Amino acid sequence: MASDKLQIALYWGSACGGCDVAVLDTDAFILDVAAAADIRLWPIAVDGKYADIEAMEDGELDLAIYNGAVRNSENERIAKLLRAKSKLLVAFGSCAHLGGIPGLANLTSRDEILSTAYLHNPSLEKGSKTLPLPESGVNGTTLTIPSFYKRVYKLDDVVPVDYYVPGCPPAFDQVQAVLEAVVGGDLPAVGSVVGASDRALCDDCARVKSEKRIKHFYRPWQIMIDPDACLLEQGILCAGPVTRSGCGSRCPSSGIPCRGCYGPLDGVVDQGAKLLSAVTSVIDSTDPEEIDRIIDGLPDFAGFAYRFSMPSSLLQRSVGQ
């Protein structure tokens, strides 16, 4: 069916749904979108079928917004499908952009995940041995389900991506901005991150920064947080310095350290390594034992440093067998 309306599709891969909610969060604006555009696919909100997309001409879609990481064969299949059918493919949110929270699964292995979930989960009935298989025969018929990949990929590991909208989830004003940009047709260079700043979060963070010397790391609940001072200077691990701004510094301003969902800045190839380098550099000690004691205050550092960017890091995953 021909239409002069903007043809768009939204899809969620391996995701929590937060990104879709973020789109809905645009509030009344979403109605303008609905007015200005035909939403051809949006599993969470409208009734569209893969078949309809497959039936399309290549490039029939103007815009495909993909949120979530690529964890299984279906995620990849739809990513490829949308890439083919859409003029623009936007990686929306941390998972599509960097791998996101699901990407933390790369710190362990597929086998461990499956055995934990299907063999050793306390909620399972005794002796259950059922493991999800791509194909399984049930009284004569064969059932197929998407195959569960060895690890999590970010979107551009499987298809070329035109734009990235970072955030977990992206701030709604940016969702709006992106959509308006597309409507207005004024788009930055392909491959760039849109709806975010080129500076670190600290640029927008209202907390007062001074020279940094850290003698002890605390979890946020361990101390009375000074509402005005830089969290890091108070010994609270904050990913702000290694994270793109654009979120409006919502976490730090509410006393919660930045987790880095907007991802690293241009020129930083590995967000976790950079955070490590920056934070350890300002440890206030020259005594190895004391230094060890101080970094004891940073448990599961890999988990924190790569919370949103494991699959986009240099090693992409744990290589332990």
- Let me know how many helices (H) and strands (E) the chain has, helices first: 12, 9
Interface with another protein, residue 240, by CB under 8 A: yes
Q: Given its phi and psi angles, is residue 127 left (phi above 0), alpha (psi -120 to 50 degrees) or beta?
A: left
What are the tokens at 219? 């979890």
Q: Quick one: which of 135, 210, 228, 254 contacts another protein (CB under 8 A)?
A: 210
Q: Give the 3-state secondary structure of residue 130.
A: coil
Which range touches another protein (CB under 8 A), out of 30-38, 97-105, 179-187, 302-310? 302-310
What is the nearest approach in angstroms of another protein to the Cβ of residue 278? 4
Interface with another protein, residue 3, by CB under 8 A: no
Say if CB 72 and CB 141 are below 8 A apart.
no
What is the nearest approach in angstroms of another protein to the Cβ of residue 263? 12
Interface with another protein, residue 213, by CB under 8 A: yes
Say if CB 257 and CB 222 are below 8 A apart.
no
Query: Which residue, chain included where needed, has tokens 């194909």?
Result: 135
Q: State yes or no: cis peptide before 188, omega within 30 of 0.
A: no
- HSE toward the beta carbon, residue 80, CA cutoff 13 A: 7
What are the tokens at 216? 């002890």
Interface with another protein, residue 292, by CB under 8 A: yes
| Total residues at interface with another protein (CB under 8 A) | 61
What is the nearest approach in angstroms of another protein to the Cβ of residue 301? 5
Query: Which residue, chain included where needed, has tokens 């991506």?
Result: 161
Interface with another protein, residue 76, by CB under 8 A: yes
Interface with another protein, residue 120, by CB under 8 A: no
Per-residue x/- marks for another protein, 155-174, CB under 8 A? --------------------
Q: Which residues bind another protein (CB under 8 A)?
A: 73, 76, 107, 149-151, 153, 198-203, 209-213, 230, 240-242, 245, 265-270, 272-278, 280-283, 285-286, 288, 291-292, 295, 298, 300-303, 305, 313-321
